[in-house]
Chains A and B, each alone.
Chain A
């Protein structure tokens, strides 16, 4: 099987004057959970619908597992599953009917695996879709996405309505898919979910891909809040020249600052003139980076 799960080259989609996608180059590999992040209206769903051949690109091309998304769309769908955002299904079918319907369209699936998924997600399949709460409807959608063990699972905002316990199980299921050498493409605008489960993230804004990073690399770039405690009163200006220090303030024996530089540089300056008693740093917060990427000036 091809090692590249999704590849887009110059993928562009315009709706009249609206540029929903602009020259998008992206490569997603098998064996990873790829988080696709962006604010509402950034172009995430347009990108997904384009690679699934539901809408056609204005220019550029895309392939999934080595197949052309337009010419080989049916072949692609044998190996791919899709969970749309704001999931809609057939209200008059029961959850079980819905699964049977899609299983038939796929030429059959392993029923025992369906039951296993239903058990893990605590899904009741006997009710009609129209009578489910949004969370329970989402569980049926997740079963549909996982039941045929596809090489690539594309999900658009999949966690909406799920309670925390089911969310955790769902994240475990995604990691299992990646561990088996398959791929999850997870589109979301909530960072916390992606942060927990993804290997890499792509950030899209106003139809353009702003950045693609490993989550760990992203975390290392994150601005940390550092608090230093000394034996005597300190002067904030001492730290102003240290690379990576921002928003420094000092009060009596304490100095507090935002810091994304090398800790070695900071400690050297801190201990040159004062006696350091304690140091505390907060966990890198990707939310800050995320918000940073969302700001308009990030888009060139």
Chain B
């Protein structure tokens, strides 16, 4: 029985793991290829402190140091940890959500057996991913004749392995205790993102002692690609993982398991309370189900709350942080070479607008709004098909096009809500930080462009969802498009061969004009808006033609 559960868990999750590892290896290969075309000596003219900050060995040189530092240290670490936490959250809580755990335990298998077999599967897949990244990284360097002298490729991939396991075990433990997958994955992802930001930003403000409270610190602060493994840090992460596994074991043994069912939300309680019943009934009842768009708007409140809260938090936090950073760091930011500046949207990190763009709007903002809009887009049509409600929905006198349009309207509503939260959070942060150089017009411009940028990727997800009826394909396809777009925007400006193609990336339409400094880029807005409308039109055509599932 152990072998059966282990085999099924591995078979379910291994393809995504291997796909993720191959995609990362591809980006590493491509980054090396692009950097070969560039004179990278400018990197090594930078002060040692800055180089260490971005994960590049000051003693090293050449393409390999930059490529491994920029691809594996950040994108790779997030990807593997994200997958591990998803598998950890699904192990127990996911089975409960789907109502399959009781069915599984109807066979001669213990709770302990399920937990152990799924955990072993998760560890094995994360190990395979890390091994793949190690092997493919070395192979890429060899094929492209890129030197890896002074680089610890094995150390970085092993550190990624240990770091990812920690987040996998954390999600596993939370799921084992509360039986709710969304809580397990949401809380773990939140800690991961906040931890990453804290581990990287707090030391800049002489708050390293505070950064030590966040687990990401024990992955990134020792810069394993440059210095090899810090065994004390590795030991801390492994020790925490073991403790979390024990916690998961205790949690799953002692608790009543949940049946498939729904959670009682705050809204439900308010709806049944005599003093709030009428108002909430109107909002949560009749208004919510008045049309497809309003019902769709009610379905993503949790994700909207998390993503917009992250943006609000970043918007409020970063401007005051800028004023805390020592002057010499600001001067160093200002001296970044043009080629490096191109990677963060061509902004001047030595200025308040540049720092804010680089820290809030260049990476965190796009990730948050892409996650929001792509989730809505993927679930819009494929979600209804996969949950087999589409047939029932379309038994009403409405066209398929009507469904697509209503779902798109809901997505627009969420995106603009996200944009508004971003605007007010940033405006508040700028006011708190006393950054007079950052104008309200610039904040409004970048918030609107970010909104439209998110809609483009929501549109991609909607179109794939419309064409295939498969949510996983829509999510993975959109993720792929987003990574390619980011890659083009970040790396193509460094290469004479590829520079002219940068305009193909929606990142360029969004950030290329430095809107926080220069205000609204109407051409960028038109390109983003036009792309979204084009994708919705494509979705209409694709969805109208094919056989529906469910």
Contact = CB atoms under 8 A, between A and B. Distances in A.
**Does chain A bind chain B?**
yes
Interface of A: 49, 52-56, 73-75, 77-78, 80-82, 84, 86-94, 96-98, 100-102, 104-107, 128-131, 141, 144
Contact of A74 (B260, B387, B389, B398): B398
Contact of B391 (A54, A91, A129, A131): A54
Given A93-B289, A97-B288, A74 B262 contact: no
A88 B395 contact: no
Contacts of B500: none
A265 to B, nearest CB: 52
A81 to B, nearest CB: 6
Given A100-B289, A130-B261, A74 B392 contact: no
Contact of A102 (B260, B387, B391, B396): B396
Contacts of B389: 88-90
B413 interface: no
A105 B396 CA distance: 6
B130 to A, nearest CB: 37
Contact of B392 (A53, A56, A89): A89
Nearest to B99: A130
Contact of A78 (B262, B290, B397, B547): B397
B67 to A, nearest CB: 44
Which of A52, A88, A102, A107: most chain B CB closer than 10 A? Answer: A88
A86 B398 CA distance: 22
Nearest to A82: B395
Contact of A96 (B285, B292, B395): B285
Nearest to B284: A97
A128 B393 CA distance: 18
B227 interface: no
A91 B289 contact: no
A130 B391 contact: no
Contact of B395 (A52, A93, A97): A52
Q: Which 6 A-B pairs have the closest CB atoms?
A: A101-B289, A82-B395, A130-B262, A55-B547, A88-B388, A105-B396
Contact of B262 (A97, A131, A141): A131
Given A55-B547, A88-B387, 8 more contacts: A52-B394, A54-B548, A73-B399, A90-B389, A97-B289, A104-B291, A106-B397, A130-B261
Nearest to A45: B391
Interface in B254-275: 260-262, 268
Interface string B387-416: 111111111111100000000000000000
Contacts of A84: 388, 391-392
Contacts of B392: 82, 84, 87-89, 141, 144
B101 to A, nearest CB: 16
A75 B393 CA distance: 15
A297 to B, nearest CB: 32
A54 B288 CA distance: 26
Given A101-B289, A104-B291, A75 B397 contact: yes
Contacts of A54: 390-391, 394, 547-548
Which of B262, B389, B393, B395: most chain A CB closer than 10 A? Answer: B395
5 contacts: A49-B391, A52-B394, A74-B399, A77-B396, A97-B289
A148 to B, nearest CB: 9
A10 B199 CA distance: 68
A88 B399 contact: no
B518 interface: no
B391 A52 contact: yes
B397 A104 contact: no
A130 B397 contact: no
Nearest to A150: B395
B550 interface: yes
Given A54-B548, A74-B399, A92-B262, A101 B391 contact: no
B279 to A, nearest CB: 16
A97 B399 CA distance: 22
A112 B286 CA distance: 17
Contacts of A102: 396
A128 B268 CA distance: 10
Nearest to A156: B391
B287 to A, nearest CB: 10
Contact of A91 (B262, B268, B398, B548): B262
Contacts of A73: 399
A128 B262 contact: yes
B470 to A, nearest CB: 16
Interface in B274-303: 285-286, 288-292, 295, 299
A178 B288 CA distance: 35
Contacts of B387: 88
A284 B260 CA distance: 44
Contacts of A87: 392
A161 to B, nearest CB: 15
Contacts of A89: 389, 392
Contact of A131 (B261, B290, B291, B550): B261
B266 to A, nearest CB: 13
B512 to A, nearest CB: 41
Interface string B297-313: 00100000000000000
A186 to B, nearest CB: 16
Interface string B364-398: 00000000000000000000000111111111111
B219 to A, nearest CB: 37
A81 B397 CA distance: 9
A130 B260 contact: yes
Contacts of B260: 130
Nearest to B285: A97
B549 to A, nearest CB: 9
Given A56-B547, A82-B391, A88-B387, A106 B396 contact: yes
B19 to A, nearest CB: 26
Contacts of B395: 52, 77, 80-82
Contacts of B299: 92
Given A55-B548, A77-B397, A81-B395, A86 B388 contact: yes
Interface string B517-550: 0000000000000000000000000000001101
Contacts of B391: 49, 52, 54, 82, 84
B175 to A, nearest CB: 19
Contact of B295 (A53, A75, A101): A101
Interface in B6-29: none
Nearest to B392: A84
Contact of B292 (A81, A82, A105, A144): A105
Nearest to B385: A54
A78 B289 CA distance: 19
A92 B547 CA distance: 27
Contacts of A106: 396-397
